[in-house]
Amino acid sequence: MKRFYTSVSVESTDGGWDVRLDGKVIRSPAKAPLVFASRALAEGVAAEWEAQGEQVQPNAMPLMQLASTAVDVVGKQRDGIVAAVAKYAETDLLCYRAEHPRELIDRQARAWQPLLDWATLRYDAPLHVCAGLMPKPQPADATRALRHAVEALDDWTLSALQSATGACGSLVVALALIEGRIDAAEAFEVSQVDETFQIEQWGEDPEAAKRRAGLREDIVSARRFVDLLRAG
């Protein structure tokens, strides 16, 4: 859509901060008010609106999208979102190792095992590792513990975790990202071990490169969203 505003500002309001376009408070796509608990996050969203050119490109505003998802989707469908995100623990990427070649097996172990060990210590959630792609049932206590970790998040952080989990294909990696155990670059690298190995062997086509770039952007945005949310 065509840019319809001139000025962007951040103002204090009851319960936090809001972003205003020519003095009018922005709302989510579902017309819900967006009140930011953190001024830093409000300023981040304001910067996205300010950076728009003659045409407003929603896809170029990841912070705005995550905030809107928190209000329009997570806030209204919380139980379903929690269940969908927690379900990743049942088939977490980090638990499925290659059977060959040895170089890939070793690379997976170096990248993935430290995060599984972290999840065991952080959440008391030891997950089983297996070779091959056949699903292996995970301990009920472990998946339950990870679900509790997801349930404990507020709607806004859960919005970021949902996005990161989908981009990483791993709940463990996404939790490590959100909690600051790893940064966005590490999360992308860890979640792309298999793909990177294949690219080294066979190269990368333009579509795959575009897809990987999109996943990287989602991971970076999720981490930045949480950092700004917690910045106050």
One DSSP character per residue, 158-172 reads: HHHHHHHHHHHT-HH
Using one digit for the tens of pLDDT, what is the confidence trace for 168-214? 999 999 999 999 999 999 999 999 999 999 999 999 899 999 999 99
Q: Give the start-to-end residue ranges of the domains of the chain.
A: 8-74, 78-231
Say how far apart CA 102 and CA 98 lie, in whole Å.
Answer: 9
Q: Which fold has domain 8-74?
A: ATP12-like (3.30.2180)
Q: Name residue 43's amino acid.
A: E
- Ranges in the chain, pLDDT < 70: none
Report the pLDDT value the prediction gives residue 1, as an integer from 0 to 100: 87
Question: What class, spelled out in words, does domain 78-231 have in CATH?
Answer: mainly alpha
Using one digit for the tens of pLDDT, what is the confidence trace for 85-97? 999 999 999 999 9
What is the SS3 assignment for 175?
helix
